[in-house]
Amino acid sequence: MLSNRLKSIAGLVQNKDKVMDIGCDHALLGICLVKNNILNNIVVSDINQKALDNAIKNIKKYKLQDKIDARLGNGISVIDKNINTIIISGLGTNTIIKILSHPNLKQIKKLIIQSNNDHYLLRKYLVLKEYYITHESIVYDKGHYYINIVFEKGKRKYTFKELMYGPFLIYANKDYFEFLLKKKRALLENIPKYKITTIIKHKKEEIFLKRLTK
């Protein structure tokens, strides 16, 4: 059974997208997309041979070898010319940015990203690369919140707060902001008292988050 986290990503893929799932690990997302006829075929990749072997084992189990092309390699360096959409999930923003810092990014029209952290940096990086945000959603799975962001080619300006909290999310989910507020308060309690500038910065964010929970 596919987790809620991965199901939520599958819902963001459209039939017309030519997709590569980077860092596919088990390939369960690719299998779900093809089995449910969301896509006719997909390329899945992983940098790690063991992960790829696991992917290939699962693909064979579902007899989808002719529809799922599993390949070993680093990020978008092993992409085909016809791919216009990439999915990256379960990785941190620094690794994601390393993956995206490659000339092949120019052929990508749509990115579906579920980063583990630093969504501010992710949004900022891709907006600088001339992508804009067309969708954001939060999914709750096994005690964790995950953020899905879809970027598409195009220029748009965002405020600092939109980049920080998400231009869609900022107006959306009070539960999520309650959760962030709790995390912020826990963080504030652990900052040493002499770090005044750091405390002021986080206090300001705490006030802003409190407003978003109302």
Ligand X SMILES: C[S@@+](CC[C@H](N)C(=O)[O-])C[C@H]1O[C@@H](n2cnc3c(N)ncnc32)[C@H](O)[C@@H]1O
Interface ranges with ligand X (CB under 6 A): 6, 22-25, 45-48, 51, 74-75, 89-91, 95, 99
Closest distance between ligand X and the C-beta of residue 204, in Å? Answer: 33
Distance of CA 58 to CAs 26, 49, 63, 94, 168, Å? Answer: 7, 14, 9, 29, 35
| Token pair listed for 83 | 């791919």
CA distance 9 to 150: 10
Q: Which is nearer to ligand X, 112 or 181 (CB)?
A: 112
Backbone angles phi, psi at 16, to 5 degrees: -80, -15
Q: Which C-beta is closer to ligand X: that of 139 or that of 181?
A: 139
Which DSSP letter does residue 84 get?
A: -
Crossing angle between the packed helical segments 196-212 and 174-189, to the nearest 10 degrees: 160
* Residue 194, CA distances (Å) to 183, 199, 201 in order: 21, 9, 14
Q: Which of 41, 116 has the CB closer to ligand X?
A: 116
CB of 171 to ligand X, least distance (A): 27
112 or 212: whose CB is closer to ligand X? 112
Shortest CB 41 distance to ligand X, Å: 18
CB 52 to ligand X: min, Å: 8
